[in-house]
Amino acid sequence: MKIDSFLVGFTALHEEPGDIYTPILLPGDLDPFERQARFTQYIDAELRMTGLGSAGGGSAIQFLDDGDDDGDESDDDQWRVLYSIIDTDVTDLNAGRALIRLHLAELGCPAGTLLQFDDREDRWDGERWHLAEARSIDEDNL
């Protein structure tokens, strides 16, 4: 059941979903339905209920895997997903990041999960968050 069905009458939470883009990058190729069921619906609910933003949709960062490395042209060339992305927007960068980090860890996000903002990112190593590091990956530069 979508969180929107519980938010009837809470128009303020619908009108201002956030204007600071903070994508979540989950390592690996998560099916969009699995990504929604495991992470997005919960992050979205928490952000909306606190008035800190919203989450939804997503995409993937991919790269072309060259198949074998012997230099021969190969039919094995295929795109491989590096990260599955959850699009999030927050109204307050620090409070939104803190809330997202808390819930991602509670939801069992995999090591290597990134929460990006500006030219920085928070990185989950499987045990703790490393805050405001320089971006390690930028989909615009792939």
**Domain annotation covers residue 123:** yes
pLDDT band at 70 (very low <50, low <70, confident <90, very high): low
**Domain annotation covers residue 7:** no
Cα Rg of the chain (Å, integer): 17
Query: In whole angstroms, what is the distance from residue 103 CA to residue 41 CA?
Result: 11
Total domains in the chain come to: 1
**Domain annotation covers residue 2:** no
* Per-residue pLDDT tens over the stretch 1-10: 565 666 566 5
Which pLDDT value is given to residue 1? 56
Which pLDDT value is given to residue 61? 80
* Per-residue pLDDT tens over the stretch 25-53: 999 999 999 999 999 999 999 999 999 99
Which pLDDT value is given to residue 67? 61
> Which ranges of 8-138 does DSSP label H, i.e. alpha helix?
11-15, 32-35, 41-50, 93-106
Which pLDDT value is given to residue 102? 98
Provide the CA 54 distance to its chain's centre, in angstroms.
12
* Per-residue pLDDT tens over the stretch 103-137: 999 999 999 999 999 999 999 999 999 999 999 98
**pTM over cut 0.85:** no
Which pLDDT value is given to residue 106? 97
**Domain annotation covers residue 3:** no
Which CATH number characterizes residue 62's domain? 3.30.70
The whole domain housing 35 covers 17-66+77-141
| Rounded average pLDDT over 11-35 | 82
C-alpha distances in Å from residue 114, one per residue of 49, 88, 96, 111, 127:
23, 12, 14, 9, 13
